[in-house]
Structure formats: C-alpha cells, structure tokens
Amino acid sequence: MGYVAVSALSHPGLVRERNEDSLVVGPWTLCATVTESPQTLVFPIGPPLVVAVADGLGGHPGGDVASALVVRRLASLGPSLSGEDAVRDALTACNRAVHAAAGGDAGGGLAAMGTTIAGVVVEPGALLSFNVGDSRVFAASDDGLRQLSVDDSPPLEPGRRTTSIVTQCLGGTRMYRAVRAHVTAEPLSPGDRYLICTDGLTDPLPTEVLDEAMRGHDDSRAAYELWKAAIEAGGPDNITLAIVRVADG
C-alpha cells in the first residue's frame, strides 16, 4: 500500500499583524498560528485525504474566523469527499456555513467575512484539485510547475503580475451568493508531488522561484526554502503552504 506525505507550515509574514490563513491535512487543522519549521504528516492511501489552505479575506473583519471554520468543516467531511460532486457539495456547504456564521445581511462586525480555499483530495489512483478564490494548487514534475487551480481574479493590468482582488470566495458578501467551485480530477501515481499555497507565497515570488525550490530539496526543506524566499521578498502577506507527495509503501 502506498502513502501520502504532507509537509506544511503557516506564518503571518512580516507585514500583517496576525495570521488569517488556515490549513487542513486530513483530520489535522492549523488555524491562525505561527510555524517556522515545516510539520510533516504521513497517511496511508485509502479513504479520501483532504489537504487544503484557506486565506481569510484581508481588510474584512473575521477573515481568520472564516478560514478556520472552512478548514475545520473540511476536516470533518474529509473521509466522505469521494468524487468531484462530493467536493463541490462540500464547498457549497462551507460557503453557506460562512454566511450563516457571519449573520448574513443582518449586519454586525463579521457580516462580510470570507475566505479563499484551495486544495486536493487524494484517493487510490486519483487526485481531485479544487479551489474558490486565488489560492493555488500546482503539480510539480520534471517539466516544472503546472497550475491546476483556476484564479478567481480579474484580468491583470499591463505590467502587473498579481492582484489582491478576488471575483469569488466563500462568504465575503452581506447577502448569500452561490459559488462555482473549480474541481478537476487527474490520475495519481507514486512520485507525484503537489504544492498548495495561499497568495502570500505566489504574490511576491514568480513561478520560476517556486519551481527551483521544489526541484532542489526534499519536501520539508523545500517548504522551508519557499517560506524563506517569501520572507526575503518582504513577506507582504500571510504565508501558508503544503507540499504533498505520493509514494509507494
């Protein structure tokens, strides 16, 4: 039987006062915390295993509340996330849960709290990639990084590489708004590696830097080098990432 190894960390960066990112790896969650050393968890391939990052909307009260709510719900739903429809249904449920926790359009300090979400579900022989918002999922191979997620963001202005605007997220509006989650499936083989991260990693670093770190190190060291590169680039936002590796038994 094969196994899945996940090396992950979450850090507020150098500018933000607090960490509004959250992380889920199987039944394990990390919410609004600080880690500078990657944590590595290993799971047998079998029941669906969810690994995802959530980035609470900056500038909105309650971003940390929204991201934590979503990853905890995915942790509880994880073993049932078999197939694309199950993942879409789970993200719809998460969206409704964020709106309900915010009080909908009744007002209050958390009325527009929201979060992005991006991750994978690992099953025997298959991987489901999913996202809502601009957090990302990449497949890593000898040919470089291939983005599996779809950025929910407007077209970039000339000369700009990134934007902080998202066109959809979980929650984020006073009145309920449905989301169209991006969910794709692809075959899974031993040796496959994936990078899942919030935009605190991808905004300051071009894809070439991410690819170089992934190529040059084992998973735990690669996670550390990616975090360090984002910090050296100014650490302008919360940084949360997970490297997923599929291996033989």
Residue located via tokens 């995915």:
74
pLDDT for 108: 59
- pLDDT category of residue 103 using cuts at 50, 70 and 90: confident
- pLDDT for residue 143 is more than 70: yes
Q: How many domains are there within the chain?
A: 1
- pLDDT category of residue 105 using cuts at 50, 70 and 90: very low
Least Cα distance to 90 among 131, 135, 53 occurs for 131
C-alpha distance across the termini of the chain, in Å:
5
- pLDDT category of residue 163 using cuts at 50, 70 and 90: low
Q: Which domain holds residue 127?
A: 3-247
| 161 torsion bin: left (phi>0), alpha (psi -120 to 50), beta (else) | alpha
CATH for 237? 3.60.40.10
How many Cβ atoms are within 10 Å of 86's Cβ, its own excluded? 16
- pLDDT category of residue 160 using cuts at 50, 70 and 90: low
Distances, alpha carbon 115 to alpha carbons 23, 32, 34, 56, 171, in Å: 12, 13, 19, 4, 7
* Span of 122-136, 161-175, 185-199, 208-222 with lowest mean pLDDT: 161-175
